[in-house]
C-alpha cells in the first residue's frame, strides 16, 4: 500500500520475542509523513486485512485436522486460549466446540491461531500500530483523549498475561500519540467508514486477553465427558473441591 501511494517505507522488521515462534509480528518504518488521512487509513488496515485473509484458511484446515487428546494434560503443557472467531468456526464447521485442553492441535491450526493473534496485536488502537493509524484516521484529534486509558487497559491485561507488559513498553518506545495530519478534521468517506467497522469486528473476533498459559496455572477440572461425539473438559470455576461419595 505504501508503494501504491508513493510513500517511502522500509521493509518489514520482525519483532523478536521469547515465544513459541520467536516473534510478535513485524513492523515497517515510514520515512516520511503521511499526506492525508485516506493514505493513513489505507496503510493502517491493509496489513491486518491481508494477514487475516491468509490466516483464515490455514486455521480452517488445521481445525479440520486437529485430533482429540486421549490422555491427561501433563504439567507445563502450553494451553492456547481461542478467540471468539475460533469458537464461531467450530460451531459452524464442526457442530461442536473444543478447547486446547481437549485436543492435540494440528500445526496448521497453531499457525492460523498465531496469525489471528498477531492481527489482534497490530490492531490495538494505540500510537504507531496499525490500529492506532486506523483510529486516528477515524477520530482525528479525539484520539488524544483516549490513548492513555487504552494504554492503561493494556497494562492491566499484563496482570493476566505478562506479554502485554512487553507490548505496552514497546508502545511507549514507539510513541503512544499519533502525529498530526493537515486534514485531521476531514471525515473519511462512507466506504472507508464501512471498512473501519469491519476491521473493528475483525479485532474483536481475533482478540484474546490471555492467549497462552501453562497447564499448571489452570484451575482443577472435572473428568472429561462425552457430548455429541466431542470430549469436553468442564472447568469448575465457582465451586470448591467436591467431596467423594
Tally of domains within the chain: 1
Residue 62 lies in a domain: yes
SS3 143: helix
Instruction: Round to whole Å and give the CA distance between 130 and 196.
Output: 12
Instruction: Round to whole Å and give the CA distance between 103 and 110.
Output: 12
pTM exceeds 0.75: yes
Q: Determine the pLDDT at residue 227.
A: 39
Residue 49 lies in a domain: yes
94-138 residue pLDDT tens: 888 888 888 888 999 999 999 999 899 989 999 888 898 899 888
Residue 230 lies in a domain: no
DSSP state of 1: -
Residue 31 lies in a domain: yes
Residue 218 lies in a domain: no
Residue 68 lies in a domain: yes
Domain of residue 122 covers 2-210
Residue 201 has pLDDT above 50, yes or no: yes
End-to-end CA distance of the chain: 65
Instruction: Round to whole Å and give the CA distance between 195 and 49.
Output: 10
137-192 residue pLDDT tens: 888 888 888 889 999 999 999 999 988 998 899 889 888 887 788 777 888 889 99
228-242 residue pLDDT tens: 433 333 333 333 344
Residue 179 lies in a domain: yes
Residue 35 burial class via C-beta count within 10 angstroms: exposed 0-12, middle 13-18, buried 19 and up: middle
Instruction: Round to whole Å and give the CA distance between 158 and 168.
Output: 9
Amino acid at each position: 500500500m505504501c508503494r501504491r501511494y508513493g510513500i517511502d517505507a522500509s521493509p518489514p522488521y520482525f519483532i523478536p520475542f521469547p515465544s513459541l515462534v520467536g516473534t510478535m509480528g513485524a513492523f515497517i518504518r515510514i520515512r516520511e509523513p503521511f499526506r492525508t488521512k485516506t493514505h493513513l487509513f489505507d496503510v493502517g488496515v491493509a496489513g491486518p486485512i491481508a494477514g487475516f485473509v491468509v490466516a483464515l484458511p490455514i486455521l480452517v484446515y488445521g481445525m479440520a485436522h486437529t485430533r482429540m487428546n486421549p490422555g491427561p494434560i501433563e504439567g507445563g503443557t502450553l494451553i492456547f486460549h481461542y478467540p471468539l472467531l475460533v469458537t464461531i468456526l467450530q460451531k459452524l464447521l464442526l457442530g461442536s466446540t473444543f478447547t486446547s485442553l481437549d485436543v492435540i492441535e494440528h500445526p496448521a491450526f497453531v499457525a492460523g491461531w498465531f496469525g489471528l493473534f498477531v492481527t489482534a496485536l497490530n490492531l490495538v488502537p494505540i500510537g504507531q500500530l496499525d490500529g492506532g493509524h486506523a483510529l486516528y484516521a477515524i477520530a482525528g484529534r479525539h484520539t488524544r483523549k483516549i490513548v492513555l486509558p487504552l494504554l492503561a487497559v493494556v497494562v492491566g491485561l499484563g496482570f493476566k498475561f505478562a506479554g502485554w507488559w512487553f507490548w505496552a513498553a514497546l508502545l511507549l518506545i514507539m510513541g503512544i500519540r499519533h502525529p498530526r495530519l493537515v486534514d485531521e478534521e476531514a471525515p473519511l468517506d462512507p466506504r472507508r467508514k464501512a471498512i473501519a467497522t469491519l476491521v473493528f469486528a475483525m479485532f474483536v473476533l481475533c482478540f484474546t486477553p490471555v492467549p497462552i498459559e501453562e497447564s499448571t496455572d489452570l484451575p482443577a477440572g472435572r473428568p472429561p465427558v462425552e457430548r455429541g461425539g466431542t470430549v469436553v473438559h468442564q472447568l469448575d470455576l465457582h465451586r470448591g473441591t467436591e467431596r467423594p461419595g
